[in-house]
Amino acid sequence: QVVKLRWPLLAKSLLSGQFSGWLTSMFPGLGASTAAILALQLTKKLGDHGFMVLMGSINTVNFILSMVTLYSLNKARNGSIIAIQKTASFFQTDIIIPVIIIFLLATLVAGTIAAVLALKIGKLFSRHISKINYQLLLSSIIAFIILLTILLTGPIGLLVLIISTAIGFISPIVKVTRTHAMGCLLLPVIMYFIL
């Protein structure tokens, strides 16, 4: 079922998402979750559907500004931009305006196809998800992540995974959002540039 949002709520979600997404894109280590917290401080009572629009707006702004950063500074801010950078180097081309436009158009086409597929597959998925053993699914995902970490990064990567998992557990134990754990990234980055 397609949900129709009222224009004031839609405009509020989009504008707050764009502003907070732009703001967090300017600073290293800040991501979509931090932008969402900032946006929710500016605009109250968005509701579930408004929040989904907000997150989409934030991620769109983050991606576009990451492309601008890649073009201007030749620096990647996230994994998808690193993939674009490596694709461009594979084809032995520089990051120039036509390349940026091609990738943005490809993103637009992929997003359109994904939206249509999500509406179609979502109904099928929602009917069958209750039949899956959720605990078994989660255990399989955890085992897969551990195996992949060992294969790709070895013992050091496994140690980092254990420490980061422990940090992730602190948030629900002390009843704060996991965004606070971003301090583990932000503080070293800030100290690096200060010192």
Most confident of 15-19, 145-149, 182-186, 188-192: 145-149
CA distance 78 to 67: 10
Secondary structure (H, E, C), 40-52: HHHCCCCHHHHHH
Q: Report the percentage of the chain scoring pLDDT > 70.
A: 97
Q: What is the four-CA torsion angle of 141, 143, 148, 150, rounded to 10 degrees?
A: 150
Distances (CA, A) of 165 to 159, 162, 175, 182: 10, 5, 16, 13
Mean pLDDT for 127-145 is 89
Q: Does residue 2 have a pLDDT over 70?
A: no
